[in-house]
Amino acid sequence: MDPVATAYPVEWEADVVLRDGSTMHVRPIRPDDADALQRFQEGQSERSAYFRFFAPIRRLTDRELGRLVNVDHVERVALVAVRPGTDADGAPREDILGVTRFDVIADGEAEVAFNIADSLQGKGLASVLLEHVAAAARERGVRRFTAEVLPQNSSMLGVFRDAGYSLSQHLDDGVVTVGIDLDPTERSRAVMADREHRAEARSMAALLTARRVLLVAPGVDDGSPEALLARRVLDAAETDPGDTELVVVDHPGDVPGSVTRADGWDDVGDVDLALLAVRPDEAVDRVRRLAATGARGVVVLSGGYAESGPQGVERRRDLLRTAHAAGMRVVGPVSYGVLTTTPGAALRASLAQRPPSAGVVGLFCQSAAAAVTLTATLERRGLGVSSMVSAGHRADVSGNDLMQYWQDDDTTQVVCLYLESIGNPRKFSRIARRLSSVKPVVVATAGRSGQVVPPGHSVRATRAPRRLLEELLRQSGVIQAVNTHQLMDVAQVLAHQPLPTGNRVGILASSAALAALVAEAAVSEGLVVATSSDYLPPHACEADIARTVDALYAPGACDVVVAVDVPVVQPRTGEIARAVASAAARTGRTTVVSMLGLHGMPDELAATAPDGRAVRVPAFSTPEDAVVALGKVVEHAASRAEERGTYVVPDGVDARRARRLVEGWLAGTDALDLGVEQAGELLDCYGVRLWPARRVRTADEAVEAADDLGWPVALKSASPGLRHRNDLGGVRLDVAGPEDLRTDVARLQMLASTLLDEADPELEVQAMAPAGVACVVRSAEDPLFGPMVSFGLAGDAVDLLDDVAHGIPPLTDVDISALVSTVRAAPRLYGYGGTPPADVDALEDVLARVAVMADDLPELASLELYPVVVAEHGASVLHVSARLRPAGRRADGLRRALPG
């Protein structure tokens, strides 16, 4: 094949994070890489050269070089990992630090090879390149790699073995031949997720443990937005520098005594992190200069990027590529900064004049405005944080990165996220599901649908139902807060109180009426009011208070406590507050209060536990706020105690056959509506049997079809306006003989002619399935959320009431069960009204198979199984419609890549 006949696959370019948290750029090889490839080969050790070519080749011939850099990107593919460098004269150039390539040797099979720079061996680059070259191979129809490896090359053998793919190997004539099946496995997905977690966590650790920070000022102090940002950072450093050494460069004005001024870039020295307060047209140049300082991250405080239009989008892309190529992560643009409260290593790289106090909450937000509000809220409530990150427009570093870091950070016990957009929902769900199983994760979103994208945020368009975002969060195991106020309410409880052991709530109130109101609110939140609940009149003496509180906190009396003290005439004395705080600390019982004049984490509600720990009871402005926050914490504790299930892996699935069918049908087309036989064949690959049916146009054809299928039969209109419309007479059931069938054919033809003006309507004859509950199972591929699966009961529940449950694959058996049980019409499946219970297990099996198919096939634009009749025994799929289109690249694909 002519190498220039295939366009350069720019979509294969990606920035990646290595095992040590540094970044690098991966892209297809180009003909102009010849000099860089020769330098790479000359720089390799004799051992590395021998492992790659089975000979100590130190320099490639011109012919070899030409063959290696000229590929067709189809049958001969090569990817290189590159970073910026300089030549002997100091001129910029790009250096190759790793190469992988494959050559197709048979249908669906290719030979693969790797060559990694000595300086990067052991840092995970080979594993990253394997992910990327395997993804490229699958796109080109390659399903199997073979590789010849010397037995001494244990590192490369380990890369193949540890990747999690199905693997075979044998030794022949002193060479190990390795065979790698490229179809993803549960283990290969788990391996990728684990490597991604470790790399991204270390990447964030490099930012959040920075000790020497460089402020890159705009060069003038002229009142511009950039100059004001630089001045704000300097003022904040003067107010509270923490343990950070702040260095400033390109700043003409005065600086505080705690700040080091660099006379020029040559005077900067090594730094860990940089704060960028320059105009966007100067940013790329400053980031290139930062490469020489060893900085692992850059926080972009200023704006003027994607929010300003197409030119700004291009500026942001250049900024990201430059930073990633130099091994740096980017926070922002329009970031409020990052800070930590680690004793002895508190980082101050933020615009915050008064940073929050130390605590156990890891807080992530996006816009600087949200950071200002949240910082003020933290101060007002007295709620401490372990670290706080404002990602601004989230061009690179996102909440996903911080969740990876906080999972391993012992200081952080509660994670709070305020999200204005979610750029990669599938990755978010995957990471949050894992994190929320060990630490509470509380999430508030700026919108309830995920459909509104603030200026500057790059988010794929979505066609998903508006409530899918809520389903995503529920499936992820996070606590959903409706706004930032509730986010902080829930955080107060989680940060200072133990997780509840049950949902029985003991109520202590300052009046009987108030106790009744609190009880009503508690029941609304799914709590059960304990009989130990009581009230204390305003004139209660100290002995009465102690006796009532002790009874409320007696062993087994309740699981959680809500104490409300709102005196009407007499001033609040504080005796109830002190008694409740002491009992909560003594018993470890989860407690919240609403007491006049108290808010946040007041000293009045502090006490010491028997083991010496300081315990604080959170105070809320209203009883309703206290109960809602407590209810969410109780629900979270219960969900953590429940089995989360295992990812469904149905038997009898032939994903390879499905892949071949889809690629064959789509060849040369932009989109394709599958015929019934094609759709049935695709379903068969996943073990879903389509109930036999026959399309007819005449009564004679209908009778012949019924004779073949077996009587009795169902006769249905195939016209879109009448399909499934029992109410309009578009379906005739239990047709027992030829005479009745001929009559029904005539009636349906007349109906189609009258209502739809169809002259020769098509009908469908189908053998009668066992009677049961008719359901609808659908899947769709969304540009943002990826594959979506939905379920509902056919008829008015779906068509009029939108009573539909949604899930995002991959799904566990628990997720599948929840899809069925959470729709409001679900009781019809469980014996409602004296009818026999339906075979829910069979229904869940169909849903599981559809979920796996949707996850496997991004080309499956839409699928509808309607109806799926669930009988007392078994589920029958009576009709299918499906549409294919060429697959787009999923945001959370089978290769690790950074935004940009």
User: Quick one: pLDDT at residue 731?
Assistant: 87
Q: What is the rounded average pLDDT of the residues 393-413?
A: 97
Task: Give the model confidence (pLDDT) of 785-825 as tens digits.
Answer: 999 999 999 988 898 899 999 999 999 999 999 999 999 99
User: For residue 893, what pLDDT band results from cuts at 50, 70 and 90?
Assistant: confident
Rounded Cα gap, residues 830 and 838, in angstroms: 6
Question: Residue 121 pLDDT more than 70?
Answer: yes
User: Quick one: pLDDT at residue 449?
Assistant: 63
On whether the CB atoms of residues 466 and 424 are closer than 8 A, the answer is: no
Report the percent of the chain where pLDDT is more than 70. Answer: 99
User: For residue 392, what pLDDT band results from cuts at 50, 70 and 90?
Assistant: very high
Task: Give the model confidence (pLDDT) of 840-866 as tens digits.
Answer: 999 999 999 999 999 999 999 999 999
Cβ-in-10-Å burial (0-12, 13-18, 19+) of 4 comes to exposed
Contacts 24+ apart (CB under 8 A), 757-763: 758/719, 760/697, 761/697, 761/717, 761/718, 761/719, 762/695, 762/696, 762/697, 762/718, 762/719, 763/695, 763/696, 763/697, 763/702, 763/715, 763/716, 763/717, 763/718
Rounded Cα gap, residues 31 and 264, in angstroms: 39
SS3 for 778?
strand
Task: Give the model confidence (pLDDT) of 122-160 as tens digits.
Answer: 899 999 999 999 999 998 989 999 999 999 999 999 999
User: For residue 5, what pLDDT band results from cuts at 50, 70 and 90?
Assistant: very low
User: Quick one: pLDDT at residue 452?
Assistant: 73
| Strands 805-807, 786-793: pairing kind | antiparallel
Closest C-alpha among 434, 529, 436 to residue 810: 434
One-letter amino acid of 27: R
Rounded Cα gap, residues 744 and 757, in angstroms: 18
User: For residue 448, what pLDDT band results from cuts at 50, 70 and 90?
Assistant: low
* Four-point Cα dihedral 587, 593, 595, 600, nearest 10: 110
Q: Could you tell me which residues are beta bridge partners of residue 499?
A: none
Q: Is the dihedral of CA 202, 203, 209, 212 positive or negative?
A: positive
Say whether pTM exceeds 0.85. Answer: yes
Q: What is the rounded average pLDDT of the residues 236-245?
A: 93
On whether the CB atoms of residues 775 and 867 are closer than 8 A, the answer is: yes
Question: Residue 499 pLDDT more than 60?
Answer: yes
Write out the E strands in 651-760: 672-673, 693-696, 713-717, 731-735
- Residues 6 or more apart whose CB falls under 8 angstroms from that of 850 comprise 686, 688, 777, 779, 789, 863, 865
Rounded Cα gap, residues 102 and 77, in angstroms: 5
| Strands 614-616, 606-608: pairing kind | antiparallel
| Strands 590-595, 560-565: pairing kind | parallel
On whether the CB atoms of residues 484 and 418 are closer than 8 A, the answer is: yes
On whether the CB atoms of residues 505 and 630 are closer than 8 A, the answer is: yes
User: Quick one: pLDDT at residue 152?
Assistant: 93
User: For residue 2, what pLDDT band results from cuts at 50, 70 and 90?
Assistant: very low
- Residues 6 or more apart whose CB falls under 8 angstroms from that of 423 comprise 394, 398, 457, 458, 459, 460, 891, 899
483 or 722: which carries more pLDDT confidence?
483
Residue 211: count other Cβ atoms within 10 Å of its Cβ: 14
User: Quick one: pLDDT at residue 455?
Assistant: 85
The residue with tokens 């009258």 is 754
On whether the CB atoms of residues 435 and 400 are closer than 8 A, the answer is: no
Average model confidence (pLDDT) across the chain: 93
Task: Give the model confidence (pLDDT) of 452-493 as tens digits.
Answer: 788 888 888 888 888 899 999 999 999 999 999 999 999 999
SS3 for 714?
strand
Q: What is the rounded average pLDDT of the residues 749-753?
A: 85
Rounded Cα gap, residues 47 and 42, in angstroms: 12
- Residues 6 or more apart whose CB falls under 8 angstroms from that of 364 comprise 388, 389, 390, 391, 399, 402, 415, 416, 417, 418
Closest C-alpha among 363, 342, 331 to residue 441: 363
User: Quick one: pLDDT at residue 123?
Assistant: 92
Q: Could you give the residue ranges of the DSSP H alpha helices within 757-871? A: 796-799, 813-821, 840-856
- How many angstroms separate the Cα of 308 from the Cα of each of 311, 317, 332, 739? 7, 13, 15, 72
Rounded Cα gap, residues 135 and 770, in angstroms: 44
Closest C-alpha among 380, 517, 369 to residue 446: 369
User: For residue 643, what pLDDT band results from cuts at 50, 70 and 90?
Assistant: confident
The residue with tokens 């297809």 is 28
On whether the CB atoms of residues 774 and 816 are closer than 8 A, the answer is: no
* Four-point Cα dihedral 815, 821, 822, 825, nearest 10: 150
Report the percent of the chain where pLDDT is more than 90. Answer: 82
Task: Give the model confidence (pLDDT) of 404-430 as tens digits.
Answer: 999 999 999 999 999 999 999 999 999
| Strands 534-535, 528-529: pairing kind | unpaired
Rounded Cα gap, residues 229 and 227, in angstroms: 5
User: For residue 171, what pLDDT band results from cuts at 50, 70 and 90?
Assistant: very high
Rounded Cα gap, residues 739 and 760, in angstroms: 21
Task: Give the model confidence (pLDDT) of 198-207 as tens digits.
Answer: 999 999 999 9
Rounded Cα gap, residues 602 and 604, in angstroms: 5
User: For residue 451, what pLDDT band results from cuts at 50, 70 and 90?
Assistant: low
User: Quick one: pLDDT at residue 834?
Assistant: 85
**H-helix or E-strand spanning residue 162:** helix 154-162
Task: Give the model confidence (pLDDT) of 285-332 as tens digits.
Answer: 999 999 999 999 999 999 999 999 999 999 999 999 999 989 999 999
Rounded Cα gap, residues 71 and 266, in angstroms: 42
Rounded Cα gap, residues 740 and 273, in angstroms: 82
On whether the CB atoms of residues 481 and 487 are closer than 8 A, the answer is: yes
Task: Give the model confidence (pLDDT) of 666-683 as tens digits.
Answer: 988 999 999 989 999 999
In the numeric block, which tokens belong to residue 688?
Answer: 């879903």
**H-helix or E-strand spanning residue 579:** helix 575-587
On whether the CB atoms of residues 696 and 716 are closer than 8 A, the answer is: no
Rounded Cα gap, residues 291 and 857, in angstroms: 41
Task: Give the model confidence (pLDDT) of 83-100 as tens digits.
Answer: 988 888 888 899 999 999
SS3 for 385?
strand
Reported residue count of the chain is 900
Rounded Cα gap, residues 871 and 889, in angstroms: 39
